[in-house]
Amino acid sequence: MDTPYNMTLQEKFKEMQAKGAALLATNFYNYETLRGVLEAASALQQPIILQLTRSSIDYMTLPVAVKMARAALQEHRVEGWLHLDHGDSYELAAQCLDAGFDSVMIDASEKPINENIAVTQRVVALAKQYNANVEAELGYVAKLGQSKDKLGFTEPDEARYFVQETGIDALAVAIGSAHGFYTEEPKLDLERLSQIQAVTDVALVLHGGSGIAGTMLQEAIQRGICKINLATEIKNIFMYQLKADLLKSDEIDLRKVFPPAIKAVTNLVKEKLEIVKNELISK
């Protein structure tokens, strides 16, 4: 699906690769978090990727989530794309593509590489009919509830083979990041990232962007990361602000309760966009 700005995400990624820049990809969970994200993007006039997981789709329903995202992008006059984050099946990817997503991720990273390749190939073939972007993952990036001690970094030679066999547009790499909060400061294997960039020509994606220092994110961008995912910090700051305000008030009007939490999300996303924006300007 073309965006209101008539550029596919694949084309935008190529532009980012040429500039040595990256896009921020933010998950949203309801109208309030969506608004908070887009107010930040609009204020800084920065493009953004809006992401939905299966659980968020189940919560909002697919038609409502898509229409809300599209309407909000238009209202805030933001260049943006709608992406399925961590799609766990061909069937879900197909539903999202049919509903108008610009991009889908098929995450079979926990399966043997041959199975990962097989299902990814099917999604890539389907997505071509929609002119949509496809992201896949190779290696172990700990999900919520999974051990962050397990090692399973992306191997450059496997990445090259995987990209060649699947024809994907974007590859999420395991270089030391994880989903959720970090118990200690994360250290990305940036040399490994450079090696992966050297043998692949696709957009490289960093999952688990919450909690990683801005300087490290910027260095990762310099070494080929074109998409940085942000989710946990959005949920956390929204709920932290909301709970803090509710403890001090008996207000029951949701239209008065939610705005401070929306503003907190906006401020967070502005900070993250400045990291990407500064990197873009420095190029």
pLDDT in tens, 109-120: 989 999 999 999
pLDDT of 34-50, one tens digit each?
999 999 999 999 999 99
On whether the CB atoms of residues 147 and 180 are closer than 8 A, the answer is no
pTM of the model: 0.90
9-276 has which fold?
Answer: TIM Barrel (3.20.20)
231 is in an annotated binding site: yes
Q: Per DSSP, what are the bridge partners of residue 228?
A: 24, 206
pLDDT of 145-182, one tens digit each?
444 454 579 999 999 999 999 999 999 999 986 654 54
Per-domain residue ranges of the chain: 9-276
What residues are labeled active site? 85
Residue 5: pLDDT band by 50, 70, 90 thresholds? Answer: low
> What does the block give as tokens for 185?
């400061």
152 is in an annotated binding site: no
Helix (H, G, I), strand (E, B) or coil at 173: strand
Instruction: Give the distance from CA 149 to its chain's centroid.
Output: 23
- Other CB atoms closer than 10 Å to residue 176's CB: what's the count? 21
230 is in an annotated binding site: yes
210 is in an annotated binding site: yes
Share of the chain above pLDDT 90, in %: 81
pLDDT of 43-97, one tens digit each?
999 999 999 999 999 999 999 999 999 999 999 999 999 999 999 999 999 999 9
d(CA 84, CA 99): 11
d(CA 80, CA 42): 11
Helix (H, G, I), strand (E, B) or coil at 249: coil
User: How long is the chain?
Assistant: 283
80 is in an annotated binding site: no
Share of the chain above pLDDT 70, in %: 89
